[in-house]
Every structure is written in structure tokens, then in C-alpha cells.
């Protein structure tokens, strides 16, 4: 570990002058953690483990103390992974993975050529029709064509019907407006493929699939812990968190770099750790780089269950996710509950003329602050607004991440943390 820390420190030192602006340091971090060597910080080629080791090395270099002798918090969770090449062809024409199609993250296996059977809602509405339909699609693949809707009850019905279909045959969704990937902790019996709308003609007859997922029932993961102690000692805590995991690989050829989500938040965490090292802190600050956020907040859920610190002594959790833009300011999730901290952010921002806007938002369970909120711990989640639209796709890359307001957001958070 010490050797890794020295190598990483040397690499950053050659990239950055000693007094480089925080944005330049963030750029180096984003290039590192969203670069090819990290394999998308996911579950193929040990990407998330490589990232954890690099973060720990950087905590060492910055002089962050372990938490009661622990640099890591170990846990595990189930995840469906795709280490092998994924191939799809329609009527013999290959589709481009990541651009034309994605496999559903819970996709099961498929290997062969299947006749496409078009299914509509009417084919599945009654038990009698469903039984007939299942016999027809056996040995073939189903192309689902459900009506477009935003009605929650209708969408729940469509999902339930699709689950029944996928138990009998591969499923082909061909009306997906934007390809977005995620992580699943289960595996279907058959393959499920999402294809961008307009790619597959209505006249398509056959689909050739090669999908070989690997279910990992107990994938080993680590949260990374680093402490900046208060001046003069304290029993109270502030937690600054950011998840470091992302989506990784869909086969060796498709990588999801995760520059904005969440190499940018990780870069902010590391830059804040360096900045507050020299501040006269009233409370201990625990920096936590969470694993498993994309797998259902697994790392933060484990943290609040394992309780490496007394959660009743936590004054605030500041969770950082999607910090790579900022043209339209920031949003503070759960600020309507944590009004006092939000007001402090607004006051500092107005006084110092930093960001375009600091906008409030109510409670939402959409990042690693949520398990803390559910345990009654004060917590907010801060994300930037504006700029690029890439999210959970192959286009969330370092070279397109603007880091527009990183400097001013860093100033705002450093001053807010020092005041806590």
C-alpha cells in the first residue's frame, strides 16, 4: 500500500504544481479514476477493487488517519456481471454494443439465432391468451410492443407481464429512446436486450444473440475511510461522502467510464480532504468513499448497519455525487429538512459571489445520503446542474466533463465544512 501511495503521489506531483487550482487537481483525479486503467470501477477486471486501492493510497498521501485502525470497511453484495463479449445481430446485421444496444443489467444468457415474435399487450392480458402466447414464443425471441405511457399502474402491469415472458424466451425491447445502463443483483432466466429506437426495422425476422453473464452472489467490496481529527479533540463527527463505484464493463469492448458519475464527486471529496487538513475543525471529519452505490446503495447501507462510529454523534453528512458541471448552480437534496445547513450554504454563496444558484430540494432516496436519513442522521446530497447530459452511458467520459464550477463549489464546501 505504501508503494502505491508513493507512486500515485509522484504521478500527481508531475501532473500538478504544488499550488495548482483545485480544478486542475480535479481534472487529474477524473482522468485517473475514469480512465481505462480503472475499467469503469465496476465488476469486471477488478475495476472497483483497483479504485479502492488507489483511493486508500491517496488518503495515505494526504495524511488522512485510518478510522480506529481501519482504512477499509469490508462487505459483499450480489451482482450480475458481463465479462464476455456481448453480440447482437438482426437479420445478420451486427449491432454496435453500447451505441445501438445494451443488455438489461439483469439479463440472463442466450446463444443462438431466434425468430422474432412480435407481442402486443393484447397477447398477454388474459390467462388464456398468455398460455397460448408462451407456447408460441418457446424457442423464439419476443419483441415487446407495449403502449407508451407514464401511468404508474400501467407500467407496473407491463413489467409484470414482461417478467412472465422472459421466463419463457429472450426479450427484445426496440423502442428505447436513450440507452441507460445500471447494475442488478439478480439474473433472469433468459436474455433481455434494449435497442435504441429506430435501429431495428419493423420487418426484422431474426435475432442472433451471444450473451454470457456471470452472477456473482457475494461480490467483495470495500468502503474507504479517512479521518481528519478536530483541533483539540471532539466526540462529534461530520461525514463527507462520495461513491467511487460505477458500471464497469459490458463485455471487454464496452466500458462505462463514469466521469461525472462519480469520478467528479470523488475528486471533490479528495480535494476537500486536502483543503480541510489545515483548518481548525470543531468536529472530526470522516471522509468515506463508498462502494456499491450503483448496486442499490450497498456501501452506505452497510456503513449504517456496521456503525463504525456512533451515528448519534454525527452533526451532518454531506454526500457528493455528479459534481462535474455547475453552469446552473447546485441542488441540495433534503435541504427542506436540513434548513439551517442549507441557509448557511446560501449565505456563504451570496456573500462570496460563488455559484449561479443554490437550489433547495426535498427528501429523495437517490444517493448515499439516504441510508443516513432513514436512520435519523442529518444528511444532504449535493449535485451540480447544467452542462453535459451524459449519464449511465458510454459517453460520460473525462474529455467531455467540463468541471465548470468545480473551483467555486470547492470554495463553498470548504467554508461550509469549516463552519460546522
Q: Which residues pair with 290 in a beta bridge?
A: 243
Q: Give the model confidence (pLDDT) of 202-259 as tens digits.
A: 999 999 999 999 999 999 999 999 999 999 889 999 999 999 999 999 999 999 999 9
pLDDT at 143: 95
Start-to-end Cα distance in the chain: 32
Domain stops at, among 155, 190, 211: 211
pLDDT over threshold 60, residue 415: yes
Q: Are residues 222 and 367 in the same domain?
A: yes
Q: Give the model confidence (pLDDT) of 266-292 as tens digits.
A: 999 999 999 999 889 999 999 999 999
Write a three-state SS string for the chain: CHHHHHHHHHHHHHHCCCCCCHHHHHHHHHHHHCCHHHHHHCCCCCHHHHHHHHHHHHHHHHCCECECCECEEEEEEEEEECCCCCEEEECCEECCECCCEEECCCCCCEEEEEEEEEEEHHHCCCHHHHHHHHHHHCCCEEEEECCCCCCHHHHHHHHHHHHHHHCCCCEEEEEECCCCCCCCCCCCCCCEEEEECCCCCCCCCEEEEEECCEEEEEEEEEEEEEEECCCCCCCCEEEEEEECCCCEECCCCCEECCHHHHHHHHHHHHHHHHHHCCCCCCCEEEEEEECCCCCCCHHHHHHHHHCCCCHHHEEEEEEECCCCCCCCCEEEECCCCCHHHHHHHHHHHHHHCCCCCEEEECCCCCCCCHHHHHCCCCEEEEEECCCCCCCCCCCCCHHHCCCCCHHHHHHHHHHHHHHC
Give me the chain's average pLDDT, please: 94
Q: Are residues 262 and 367 in the same domain?
A: yes
Least confident of 5-14, 98-107, 219-228, 357-366: 5-14
Which of the four pLDDT bands, split at 50, 70 and 90, describes residue 147? confident
Q: Please name the residue that has the C-alpha cell 503521489.
A: 9
Q: Which three cell numbers stand for residue 302?
A: 452497510
Best CA proximity match to 310, nearest among 334, 337, 291, 284: 284
Q: Are residues 207 and 220 in the same domain?
A: no
Question: What integer is the mean pLDDT of 369-393?
Answer: 97
Q: Are residues 38 and 123 in the same domain?
A: no
Count of domains in the chain?
2
Best CA proximity match to 229, nearest among 189, 277, 269: 277
Question: What integer is the mean pLDDT of 352-362?
Answer: 98
Cα dist from 258 to 24, 38, 170, 252, 398, whole Å: 18, 10, 29, 16, 8
Q: Which three cell numbers stand for residue 122?
A: 393484447
Best CA proximity match to 30, nearest among 399, 410, 416: 399
pLDDT over threshold 50, residue 17: no
Contact between 36 and 255 (Cβ < 8 Å): yes
Q: Are residues 107 and 225 in the same domain?
A: no
Q: Are residues 339 and 292 in the same domain?
A: yes
CATH number of the domain where residue 132 is located: 3.50.30.30
Which of the four pLDDT bands, split at 50, 70 and 90, describes residue 149? confident
Q: Give the model confidence (pLDDT) of 116-134 as tens digits.
A: 999 999 999 899 999 999 9
Q: Measured between alpha carbons, how far is 169 from 92 in angstroms, rounded to an integer?
A: 20
Contact between 37 and 8 (Cβ < 8 Å): no
Contact between 324 and 401 (Cβ < 8 Å): yes
Question: What integer is the mean pLDDT of 6-18?
Answer: 43
Q: Are residues 206 and 237 in the same domain?
A: no
Torsion of the alpha carbons at 105, 107, 108 and 110, rounded to the nearest 10: -120
Contact between 369 and 324 (Cβ < 8 Å): no
Contact between 377 and 315 (Cβ < 8 Å): no
Which of the four pLDDT bands, split at 50, 70 and 90, describes residue 13? very low
CATH number of the domain where residue 354 is located: 3.40.630.10
Q: Are residues 405 and 289 in the same domain?
A: yes
Domain stops at, among 183, 211, 239: 211
Contact between 202 and 118 (Cβ < 8 Å): no
Domain stops at, among 211, 240, 259: 211
By residue range, what is the domain housing residue 101?
Answer: 87-211
Q: Are residues 106 and 178 in the same domain?
A: yes
Burial class (CB in 10 A: 0-12, 13-18, 19+), 353: exposed
pLDDT at 11: 44
Q: Are residues 8 and 96 in the same domain?
A: no
Q: Are residues 299 and 328 in the same domain?
A: yes
Q: Are residues 91 and 59 in the same domain?
A: no
Q: Which residues pair with 90 in a beta bridge?
A: 93, 207
Amino acid at each position: 500500500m505504501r508503494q502505491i501511495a508513493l507512486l500515485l503521489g509522484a504521478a500527481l506531483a508531475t501532473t500538478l504544481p504544488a499550488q495548482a487550482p483545485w480544478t486542475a487537481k480535479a481534472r487529474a483525479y477524473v482522468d485517473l479514476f475514469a480512465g481505462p486503467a480503472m475499467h469503469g470501477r465496476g465488476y469486471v477486471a477488478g475495476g472497483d477493487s483497483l479504485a479502492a486501492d488507489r483511493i486508500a493510497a491517496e488518503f495515505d498521501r494526504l495524511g488522512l488517519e485510518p478510522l480506529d485502525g481501519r482504512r477499509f470497511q469490508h462487505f459483499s453484495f450480489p451482482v450480475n456481471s458481463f465479462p464476455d463479449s456481448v453480440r447482437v445481430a438482426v437479420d445478420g446485421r451486427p449491432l454496435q454494443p453500447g451505441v445501438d444496444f445494451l443488455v438489461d443489467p439483469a439479463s440472463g444468457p442466450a446463444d443462438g439465432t431466434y425468430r422474432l415474435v412480435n407481442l402486443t399487450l393484447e397477447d398477454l392480458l388474459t390467462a388464456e391468451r398468455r398460455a397460448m402466447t408462451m407456447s408460441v414464443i418457446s424457442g423464439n425471441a419476443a419483441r415487446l410492443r407495449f403502449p407508451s405511457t407514464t401511468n404508474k399502474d400501467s407500467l407496473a402491469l407491463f413489467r409484470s407481464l414482461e417478467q412472465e415472458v422472459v421466463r419463457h424466451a429472450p426479450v427484445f425491447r426496440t423502442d428505447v429512446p436513450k440507452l441507460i445502463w445500471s447494475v442488478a443483483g439478480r439474473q433472469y432466466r433468459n436474455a433481455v436486450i434494449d435497442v435504441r429506437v429506430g435501429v431495428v426495422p419493423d420487418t426484422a425476422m431474426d435475432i442472433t444473440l451471444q450473451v454470457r453473464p456471470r452472477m456473482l452472489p457475494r461480490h467483495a467490496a470495500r468502503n474507504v475511510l479517512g479521518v481528519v481529527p478536530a483541533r483539540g479533540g471532539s466526540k462529534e463527527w461530520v461525514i463527507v461522502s462520495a461513491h467511487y463505484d460505477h458500471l464497469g464493463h459490458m463485455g471487454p469492448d464496452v466500458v462505462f467510464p463514469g466521469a461525472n458519475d462519480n469520478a467528479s464527486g470523488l475528486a471533490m471529496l479528495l480535494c476537500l480532504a486536502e483543503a480541510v487538513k489545515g483548518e481548525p475543525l470543531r468536529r472530526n471529519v470522516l471522509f468515506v468513499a463508498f462502494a456499491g452505490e450503483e448496486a442499490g446503495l450497498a456501501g452506505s447501507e452497510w456503513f449504517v448497519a456496521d456503525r463504525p462510529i456512533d451515528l448519534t454523534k454525527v452533526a451532518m453528512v454531506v454526500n457528493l455525487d455528479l459534481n462535474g458541471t455547475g453552469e446552473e448552480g447546485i441542488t441540495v437534496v433534503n435541504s427542506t429538512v436540513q434548513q439551517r445547513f442549507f441557509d448557511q450554504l446560501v449565505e456563504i454563496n451570496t456573500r462570496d459571489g460563488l455559484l449561479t444558484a443554490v437550489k433547495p430540494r426535498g427528501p429523495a432516496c437517490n444517493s448515499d445520503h439516504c441510508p443516513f436519513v432513514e436512520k435519523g442522521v442529518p444528511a444532504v446530497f449535493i449535485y451540480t446542474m447544467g452542462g453535459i447530459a451524459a449519464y449511465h452511458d458510454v459517453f460520460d467520459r473525462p474529455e467531455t466533463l467540463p468541471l465548470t464550477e468545480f473551483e467555486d463549489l470547492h470554495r463553498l464546501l470548504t467554508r461550509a465544512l469549516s463552519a460546522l
